[in-house]
Structure 1
Amino acid sequence: MSLKEQLLYELIKNRGKSMSGQQLAEQFHVSRTAIWKTIRTLKEEGHLIQAGQNRGYTLLSNSDVLNVPAIAPLLLPPLNATFLTVVSQCSCTNDCIKQLAIQSAPAGTCFLADTQTNGRGRQGRSFYSPPGGLYLSMLLRPSLPMYKSTFLTIAAAVAVCRAVKKICNISLEIKWVNDLFLNGKKVGGILTEAVTDLEGGTFEYAIVGIGLNIFFREPIPNELTSVVTSLYNTEPDEAIRCKLAAAILNELYQLEQNPSSSLEEYQALNFVPGKTIQIISGIRTGTAKALSITERGQLLVEYPDHTQITLNSGEIQIMDIV
């Protein structure tokens, strides 16, 4: 472990407390100059560290840069620091973790970023991923058959809702099949991708990507203001993102061991049943009424001619949500 990582672990463990440069130098068997240089590097990376002559170094309570030392101690076994890769910026966390999957990375491997330059949603749509959000992907090697693939997304949606409630005390809703909503606006989304064995009808691996708007550090594009929101209007007073990242990863890994077990909770959190919807893509487009979420996670709908069908996938729009 590098001096930077060791020092960051120590500062996080003593968050809000002042630690003298001499004390840290003795603890890590380096010079005070080495400590000072490392602190400078951490501050350049965005960590909020208060420093001053004869005052030592203090990691402030609202310092919330995504980093392994802050996330790893909060993970539940078998997840640990070796499963984590955290970067300030990447093209797309799903694409990055795909490279690790090709290199035989184990199930539970996670890739997190502070921002994405080419975030991607379903059907190749762009996913707005500015700084201040939480963007992560987990590699899975599920043993379930391919026809149950929807349950991977279902479990991920429930995992995020559980984690947000636990850490932020905020209740989210789910829009079938993969969108997370808060107060009638989209606050996050899930993208599940997989490489399959067509002959065996099984997965080689699957990747669950999650994007969640925590707060916006800068104004969002005008075209998104009516449809997109964040968990917080301004930056929280305390560090939230690392705690939330760990909570999501813990819930996600546990639920994905038996993804179909989250169906009942998914159904309860889903606000689509009972709504009039516009089916934009799928086996039959047009206006219909959403009736229920089936035992396979499909959406049962009824058209004006009373024809009922189940949607396995596709794009829908709630009529009173633009």
Structure 2
Amino acid sequence: MIVVLKKGIEDSVVTKIAKRVEEMGLKAHVIVGTERTVIAAVGEKRNGEQETLESYPEVEKVVPILAPYKVASLETKLEHSVVETGSLKLGNGHLGVIAGPCSVESEEQILESAKAVKAAGATALRGGAFKPRTSPYSFQGLKEVGLQYLAAAREATGLSIVTEVMTPEHVDLVAQYSDVLQIGARNMQNYHLLQAVGEIDKPVLLKRGPSATIDEFLLAAEYILDGGNSNVILCERGIRTFEAHTRFTLPLATVPYLKERTHLPVVVDPSHGTGIASLVKPMALAGIAAGADGLIIEVHPNPAEAASDAAQTISTEAFADLMVQCRKVAGALGYKMAEAVGV
């Protein structure tokens, strides 16, 4: 249920009603909007709850939440959310671009990448320190050393860090070095991991699983939100279909569909979504045109020598050109987007 409070209600009253919701055996999520405050009362429905809450004079109305994902639903929060941490800001008209190599390979490589993507206008740096790979013989990442290199790149450039966490046991370690924790596609339904990142005070970028439905995707986000972490970013990174001409199929209809159903920001990953470097630019531009709040792109100073995902990685020069085109599309749609800052 959504408990819609009247305008101008004091914080003490909000706390009182939220406490009453908790006493009913429900979880209370207080959502403060520009117009008014609502409380999402989530849990198993019992008889008489709606009438009890409607009896408070400070309550305007109580409305059932129809979607299976309660806190993520646009029914719960009518305004689209903005996620902001350090240099990264995306959602509700703000377009953020996260760029960098698939894997952190060395301090020199990640520093060079960070300086190049920042100069082109990226607002966050991506890079994998822990790398989940299909083959156990592939490069698995530099782990904590890689996290230290990412932190050094942030110190040198001011860019926020986005990097993947793979297990609940690593959440505190990765959170110590990063600004946004990424949940990879393979872990979208790793519920213990979702619950663990739901308990931290850092934004989470959640990638859609390659075979996940939209409802499954949003319910995975709900695990994080239900834990108390409201800063969730959804990432469409492509799904498996019968097509073989690309690594995955990137369904950009997902973007406007999600934005009709959830207040959470939506970003597009044209690198994983296609698996082909030459397709990254057109699909990135199409993602912005479809209404995405951001992009996450694999960029390397020398893509041919990348330790992972070389085929889908673009060069720093290609990224700079892409950003020029992104600004044109974003400007036409009224997005706010960072300008290039120079070297």
- Structure of larger gyration radius: 1
Q: TM-score, normalised by structure 1?
A: 0.25
User: Higher helix fraction: Structure 1 or Structure 2?
Assistant: 2
User: Higher strand fraction: Structure 1 or Structure 2?
Assistant: 1
